[in-house]
Amino acid sequence: MNHGRLRFLIGALAPALVLHVVFVLSPYGQAFYLSLTDWTGVAGEAHFVGAGNYARLGGDSLFLDAVRNNAVMLVCVPLATIALGLFLASMLHIGGRSGRSGIRGAGAYQIVYFFPQLLSLVVVAVLWQFVYNPTNGLLNGALRAVGLGGQARSWLGDPALALPAVMAVLVWSSVGFYMVLFSAAIDGIPKELFEAALLDGAGGWATFRKVTLPLVRDTVQVAFVYLGIAALDGFAVVQVMTVGPGGPDGATEVIGLSLYRNAFTYGRFGYASAMGVALFFATLTLAVLALRSGRKERLELS
């Protein structure tokens, strides 16, 4: 009986394992190998260079600019998105003196906030490129309409403003999804806890800090991991929106864009693979640290 069950499990899992090895693990292995070569994309012309590509990364000023920009995005995008998502979800659920009663039309608000998720990131980038247009864009037009024409800027042409403008688009496109995610987490909190906080005289901020936030911590942790991965990417938005792309003066350069340019413009596939491997380990480190910190907090609370 046990042998038959074992054969059934092996037969059921083997195809999935084979597909995983062929289409997931094998490309990773090829990327790791190519990162140790000077392959130019032409078959048969790869020479083993060892860690030379990785040593070269440390002296590549444009790549270091990309690392700096990705680091800024890694801090700002998840924090801003999670803060806005939690705020909106709380406002939709915590209704003043009636505990967790929500507000009228909360479902409609969720649909409106979620709408950017229905658009691909490329479409979002194209739309915001028109919004940021310095001549006839919506943002500068709105500033002129309210008498603030002196604040009109070339939002994507100014090195000091280009990266914040890109990050604002990433936050705008993501916050609706995480608002819905946090709303679902808040729905899972027993209503009695909110009622008890209300009876104890807790206000809205105290209720959020003492009841809501601790009980949605796991969801916030998962959101941070996904947003961190998105912040370490940023390729599509930068590629579509910015001048250069990656400009001006490397102000919006990201690792994914440097990888793409080196591979498909300069034919340095080995060097680009080294960038990809570095990005892989940075993303893996982020996920491991975030998950381990959440596990440590749970152990301390228990």
Give the residue carrying structure tokens 């247009």.
Answer: 133
Q: What is the DSSP letter of 37?
A: B
Percent of the chain with pLDDT over 70: 92
For domain 62-301, give its CATH number from 1.10.150.130, 3.40.50.12160, 1.10.3720.10, 3.40.50.300. 1.10.3720.10
> pLDDT (tens digit, 9 = 90+) per residue, 173-225?
999 999 999 988 988 888 888 878 778 877 778 888 888 888 899 899 999 99
Cα dihedral 99, 179, 91, 109, rounded to 10, equals -110
Q: Using omega within 30 degrees of 0 as the cis cutoff, is the peptide bond preceding 159 cis?
A: no
Dist. CA 49–CA 284, nearest whole Å: 25
| Phi (first) and psi of residue 37, to 5 degrees | -125, 175
Domain ranges of the chain: 62-301
CA-nearest of 162, 140, 163 to 152 is 140
> pLDDT (tens digit, 9 = 90+) per residue, 222-268?
999 999 999 998 999 999 999 888 889 899 999 999 999 999 999 99
The pLDDT-based confidence of 41 (bands split at 50, 70, 90) is confident
DSSP per position, 93-155: H--GGGSS---TTHHHHHHHHHGGGGS-HHHHHHHHHHHT-TTT-HHHHHHHHTT-GGG---T
Dist. CA 134–CA 67, nearest whole Å: 28
| Phi (first) and psi of residue 247, to 5 degrees | -100, -175
CA angle 239, 240, 246 (to 5 degrees): 40
Cβ atoms of 60 and 275 within 8 Å: the answer is no
Q: How far is CA 24 from CA 21, 28, 94, in A?
A: 6, 7, 44
Q: Tell me, what's the pLDDT at 297? A: 57
Average pLDDT over residues 32-40: 92
Share the mean pLDDT of the chain: 87
The pLDDT-based confidence of 296 (bands split at 50, 70, 90) is low
Dist. CA 19–CA 231, nearest whole Å: 29
Q: Tell me, what's the pLDDT at 298? A: 55
Give the residue carrying structure tokens 């280009």.
Answer: 162
Cβ atoms of 213 and 275 within 8 Å: the answer is no
CA-nearest of 50, 113, 34 to 275 is 34
> pLDDT (tens digit, 9 = 90+) per residue, 77-99?
999 999 999 999 888 876 544 44
Q: Tell me, what's the pLDDT at 61? A: 92
Cβ atoms of 74 and 163 within 8 Å: the answer is no
Sorted by sequence, the CB contacts under 8 Å of residue 223 that are 6+ apart come out as: 78, 81, 82, 85, 178, 181, 182
